[in-house]
Amino acid sequence: MNLGLKKILSSLVKDPTKLVTIADAWITARNPTAEQKDMAEARWNVCIQCPEFRSKRDITGEPYCNDCGCPLNKKIFTKNYNECPLEKWKSVDDIFWQATQKKNKSLL
């Protein structure tokens, strides 16, 4: 098992409620509102400049965060404010987050 997946599992053992956050981000990523998409794109632009950004996970090939281990193409859709483990999304979320809370297409 790669290090990123171990970090995710370790995080879930410490706080099982994160499973709901992860599932919600995955669902949102499949059908985001325009506001959620704008925020995700802005978060993505922060991530690709971050030293913790990794462009390709072994086996799955998805981009991921080396700090938390999360797949970034899903994590950027989380509805949680500034969920970045290094709090680098604050400036983006200060602009977009409030608008994403008004419409909620997610089932969770």
Q: Which residues bind ligand SF4 (CB under 6 A)?
A: 46-47, 50, 52-53, 65, 67, 84-86, 88
Residue 1's identity, in one-letter code, is: M
| Min dist. Cβ of residue 79 to ligand SF4 (A) | 15
| Min dist. Cβ of residue 73 to ligand SF4 (A) | 11
**Nearest CA to 75 among 25, 41, 27?**
25
Question: What SS3 state is found at 49?
Answer: coil
Nearer to ligand SF4, 41 or 103 (CB): 41
